[in-house]
Copies of this chain bind each other. A is one copy, B any other.
Amino acid sequence: MNLLNGRKTARLLEENLKVRVEELKEKYGRVPKLVVVIVGNNPASLSYVRSKEKASRRVGINGETIRLDEHTTQAELLEVVYRLNCDLEVDGFIVQLPLPKHIDENIILNAIDSKKDVDGLSLLNAGKLMNRQKGLVPATPKGIMMLLEHYNVEFRGKYAVVVGRSNIVGCPMAKLLTNADATVTIAHRYTTDLAYFTKQADILVVATGVVNLITKEMVKKGAIVVDVGINRVNGKIVGDVDFENVKEVASMITPVPGGVGPMTISALIHNVVEAFLESHEKTV
């Protein structure tokens, strides 16, 4: 079994990106800038935001965090979004999810300028992914593709099963794998006999938030297993895959933590640099 080491891969890719960012600074007189907006005090969100700040520093881009009170109204948050849309110094920004219940996530996400939408969740970027046009791709599935590509995983003609159909992970993941010429199944809570599908998969991506959903018996010998789950159990972080047992049958597997998480952060920073390049080096 080979570990799909997300932490190591992320650091390696960030080293390359850092060199790129230095070149951009020389060429354009400034580095790309990412702004993270967080509303409220969700501890998991705060921890993600800190990881993003650290990654920005590692790569040498300009990272800023805007912390808003949990009672911030939707109108106030929209105003922040509009201001960031217009700020020429900001290349990309994200509004950390989940948002408090009184704010409509779709309204906020749809208000983000697609050119700065480095989480890839706006309708225009989702449409570009759907219609196979170049755009900003959601960070988690993008990071997973970067990780698998780094380990020279072949996609064409392989059978991939994605468990989970969220807008943020499952659906864009399935689309990226389809675009990479894999045959792809999306399974979810209504799938009859989940194991029937998972144990056929050459590549298995699991993004459900259900602890230990995927057991050894559900995985084909030699499969490549990607665990997107980040679940807190008795103060420990575990994924959706029973890692200790599944690693006995998988040919490659991501650990949790240290697998998909760091790659997600890295993909986000890559998106910021892409957004910077798109606005600075557009040929039109």
Contact = CB atoms under 8 A, between A and B. Distances in A.
A171 B165 contact: no
Copies of this protein chain in the complex: 2
A130 B130 contact: yes
B133 A106 contact: yes
Interface stretch (A18-26, A34-42, A182-190): A182-190
A141 to B, nearest CB: 12
B133 A130 contact: no
Task: Pick the most buried of A121, A172, A186, A188: most chain B CB atoms within 10 A of its CB.
Answer: A186
A191 interface: yes
Nearest to A125: B127
Given A178-B188, A183-B191, 6 more contacts: A123-B127, A123-B133, A127-B127, A130-B167, A157-B190, A181-B190
Interface of A: 106, 121-133, 156-159, 165, 167, 171-172, 174-175, 178, 181-188, 190-192, 197
Rank and list the top 7 A-B pairs by shortest CB-CB distance, nearest first. Answer: A127-B127, A123-B127, A126-B127, A126-B130, A181-B190, A185-B185, A157-B192
